[in-house]
Structure 1
Amino acid sequence: MSEPGYEEARDELVEVVRRLEAGGLSLEESLALWERGEALAKTCERRLAGARERIDQALAVTEEDVADA
């Protein structure tokens, strides 16, 4: 299964948090949701880091173009 995109992971993470906060789950269900939430949070962090890197690269190219002009 491929890793979800940022928006999909964020939306699922919001749902995981909602379910955990609502309570009424068994310990096993809560732990499984917690683990899923941790994985989704890491996915979001990776996606955001990748986006930051792409922005930094684009800005560096733009600054080089301006410096060369």
Structure 2
Amino acid sequence: MQTDIHIAIDKDACIGAGQCALAAPGVFTQDDDGFSTLLPGRENGTGDPMAREAARACPVTAITVSETAD
């Protein structure tokens, strides 16, 4: 059984600190307004262990990483 992850960003909570993009540049970036966004195709099953670190680094806990089992 493989475990995938789902990443969600609370756009209302995000303040654009950019800690997620620094912690996991293969998963997160910042949009034109400076707010967090996922790189295309990264919302499900990224398997990037740094996604959890990015969620921990967010100063306003706007990122949620949850596991889903196949």
Highest Rg: 1 or 2? 1
What is the TM-score normalised by the length of structure 2?
A: 0.22
More helix by share: 1
Q: Whose RCO is larger (CA < 8 A, sep 6+)?
A: 2
